[in-house]
Chain A
Amino acid sequence: MLIIRDLRKHYGSQLALDGVSLEIRRGEFFGLLGPNGAGKSTLMSLVAGLRQPDAGSLALDGVAVTPADPATRAALGLVPQSIALFEDLSAEQNLRVFGELHGLRGALLRERIDEALAAVQLADRRRDQVKKFSGGMQRRLNLVASLLHRPKLLLCDEPTVGVDPQSRNAIFDFLEARNREGPTVIYSTHYMEEATRLCSRIGIIDHGKIHALGTLDELLTRLPFADEMTFPATPATAAFAARVAAHGELATADGGHRFHPHAGFRTSAFYALAEECQLPARLFVAGRPSLEALFLHLTGRTLRE
């Protein structure tokens, strides 16, 4: 449905996209996973026809997407990364404006607005000004505002930033339900949990390049190791961390170490080393390899860097 060929984009001297090629199939829930500054939003804006690429091509159902032709954007819905709502207007007024811009009128528009507000549990706040909403409520409205016209392709640019886990789950359910009804979704995030839960296919992006592409399982088989070990990063574990780093990849984030052993470094050797450093076994949690591990393996840095 969407074919992207060798897309390049510079901002002045800053290279944001460095030859991205992607093919998104109809009905897919495609995840774009990458850290800050990877180029996710830039890619989204090019797909949405907001910016002109420096090089490369973009075609939606065989029609080139360009900023010059608004008609090509009719089948598209963009959920911007920032909250793009008229904050002085009520939730309902906002939806009315965006619906009308997509050519919806009258009874159909009213119906879609009611539906959308109900879907994100904002029906009872419909007449309140958006600026009086909490951040999470604004996020939810920001999301449904792009869905009124039932786009064929929905672009969600980190739509859950700052949303509590409960609302986040509600958004996930909502998006999955929409996706089942037909629209193709491209979903950018730097949360691997989101990509793991939602996406049927994932592209890992960093420094404007797609580093890996495939289903979650396909991606994980590319990891050279089967397990990972996590343990707290404290002064007590510092010496151990330094020694074990010689036998695998060690990443530190959120007060914890995550260790991926090189092939051949056995789990028993790991625990032996821990005992030498007088660390109890209960400090260590063995886990399945994750997207994060893959990311680290591919790019040499963690997702939240």
Chain B
Amino acid sequence: MRIILTLVRKDIATFLRNRPAVVITFLVPVALIYIFGFVFGLNARDSGPAGIRLGVVNASDSPAAQQLVDALKAEKTFRVVTADPTVTPGRPLTEADARRLIHDRKFNFALVIPSDFIPARGVGLRLRILSDPRNEIETQTVNGLLQKTIFSHVPQLLGQALQAGARRYLGDVRTDQFNSEIAAAVTGAFGGDREKTRRSLEAGGFGALPGESAAPAAPPAPDLFSRLVQIETVQVAGRDVKSPAATRVVGGWAMMFLLFAVSGGSAAFFDEKNAGLFQRLLSAPVRRSQLLWSRFIYGILLGLVQLTTLFAAGRLLYGIDVFGHFGNLVVVCTAAAAACSAFGMLIAAFAPNAQAANGLATFLVLTMSATGGAWFPISLMPEFMQHVAKFTLVYWSMEGFSQVLWAGSSLGELLPTVGILLAIAAGVMAAAVWRFNRGAVFD
């Protein structure tokens, strides 16, 4: 063990002496995450200008439509454009304008709220998203964000749609009667003010009256809706996390940089070998496997520090809640770093030389990152690829990150994921040690 400790200390000292390595390992990923933050429109601090430009055409006179527009305006990731910027004075956008402006690349996305937003027939809402699918990932992100914004207002909107439908089918009198009865039943069963509840139902808001809620995006008052329907938890999971997309982006890129860092470590192995250092080390009472284990442990430490740095950057830049679950996050990060480090050792053990190791590492890192969901959510991939993803350590690491940061899982809930990561690390390390003990270290 002492020998391994000495070697690990040596690796750390070497790393710290090598300033470019420090910069590449820590600052570059942080800088890139910041830049990708712009790409994905995540930068929490920047309201308006840094957001994705989104054209909004509101052809509906429904107050619900206006609420939706206001909600989108409040969303930091969007910079909502409601007036045609190419003519002065600006006039409200029409759908034709939006199409033209997308074509001219004034913006890439537009949301159309048609005049039959709350349709005359049937139940539900009608919306159209116009997009220039030049950048598929951006399209997915924007669609996701739009859906999130709309979805968090759906109780209100859907309620209005239902009310409108009811009036059409039942007539005014019977609808009023229906509302009164429901209000009576509900307040009878759950408590609350009957008259308020009735008015609330009429407004379609289930709970929060338009006039009463301070901001359109405010969560529904803990009134009727929340008492009737228990879908809150589903929504809350997404709403509590300040930047769900940021969690994924930071986690994904962190994994990729981690893999690159540890596979860089495997290339350093070859430098030592070529320099004749293996001869010196192994002519001392040192075992081959000890060389590998020491690098493995060093890789875990490096990975742990790198992941911590990146998540700390995620906290600063995007307000990811890192410290709320810090202990569990460290557990997942350690398991992820162990799996990555083991992979670096496997490459070092199997590759015949540094170039081959680099090539192999680049190939494996990129494939695993892409298929494992580091770049875009695996839910966007074809089904069979989603199965393939489960064979990558990236997938399980990302799973662990989102369990901790998104779902706030307990240590017990994390065990299966952490267990899989550690099993990957153990299996891969076993193969690496086996190979390294037999491989030609000098010849």
Contacts and interface: CB of A to CB of B under 8 A. Distances in A.
Contacts of B282: 49-50, 67, 73
B281 interface: yes
Interface residues of A, number: 35
Nearest to A67: B282
Given A45-B442, A101-B6, A85 B277 contact: yes
A281 to B, nearest CB: 49
Nearest to A129: B17
A232 interface: no
B10 A49 contact: no
Contacts of B9: 97
Interface in B385-443: 442-443
Chain B, interface residues (CB within 8 Å), range: 20 to 34
A70 B6 contact: no
A98 B286 CA distance: 11
Contact of A50 (B17, B277, B283): B283
A89 B279 contact: no
B318 to A, nearest CB: 35
Contacts of B280: 78, 80, 84, 98, 145-146
B277 A86 contact: yes
A76 interface: yes
A73 B17 contact: no
Contact of A48 (B7, B275, B279, B443): B279
Nearest to A149: B284
A83 B286 contact: no
B119 interface: no
Contact of A97 (B6, B283, B442): B6
Interface string B5-16: 011011001100
B3 to A, nearest CB: 6
A88 B442 CA distance: 22
Given A50-B442, A51-B442, A93-B13, A74 B285 contact: yes
Contacts, number: 83
B2 interface: yes
Interface string A75-109: 01110111111111100010001101111000000
Contact of B284 (A85, A88, A98, A155): A98
B276 interface: yes
Contact of A89 (B14, B284, B287, B442): B14
Interface of B is mostly: helix
A242 interface: no
Contacts of A67: 282
Instruction: Give the residue among A48, A51, A85, A88 with the most B Cβ atoms within 10 A.
Output: A88
Instruction: Give the residue among B6, B7, B13, B280 with the most A Cβ atoms within 10 A.
Output: B280
Instruction: Give the residue among B17, B279, B443 with the most A Cβ atoms within 10 A.
Output: B279
A77 B124 CA distance: 83
B25 to A, nearest CB: 14
B18 interface: yes
A89 to B, nearest CB: 6
Contacts of B442: 45, 50-51
B276 A97 contact: no
Nearest to A79: B280
A82 to B, nearest CB: 4
A183 to B, nearest CB: 15
A246 interface: no
Contacts of B283: 48-50, 73, 76-78, 80, 155
Interface in A1-17: 11
A71 interface: yes
A100 B275 contact: no
Contacts of A51: 442-443
B16 to A, nearest CB: 9
Contacts of A81: 276
Interface in B255-305: 272, 275-277, 279-287
B186 to A, nearest CB: 72
B285 A84 contact: no
A86 B7 CA distance: 11
Contact of B18 (A76, A88, A93, A98): A88
Nearest to A9: B443
Contacts of B279: 45, 48, 50, 78, 80, 84
A90 to B, nearest CB: 8
A151 B3 CA distance: 18
B6 A84 contact: no
A245 to B, nearest CB: 41
Contacts of A97: 6-7, 9-10
A72 to B, nearest CB: 8
A171 B182 CA distance: 101
A84 B17 contact: no
A77 B282 CA distance: 11
Nearest to B21: A88
A73 B277 contact: no
B17 A88 contact: yes
Nearest to A12: B443
A100 B2 contact: yes
Given A45-B279, A86-B272, 18 more contacts: A49-B282, A49-B283, A70-B287, A71-B285, A77-B283, A84-B275, A84-B279, A85-B275, A85-B277, A86-B10, A87-B275, A88-B14, A88-B18, A89-B14, A97-B7, A98-B284, A100-B3, A101-B284
8 contacts: A50-B283, A51-B442, A76-B283, A82-B275, A84-B275, A84-B276, A101-B286, A146-B280
Which 4 pairs between the two chains have the least Cβ-Cβ distance? A82-B276, A78-B283, A84-B276, A84-B280
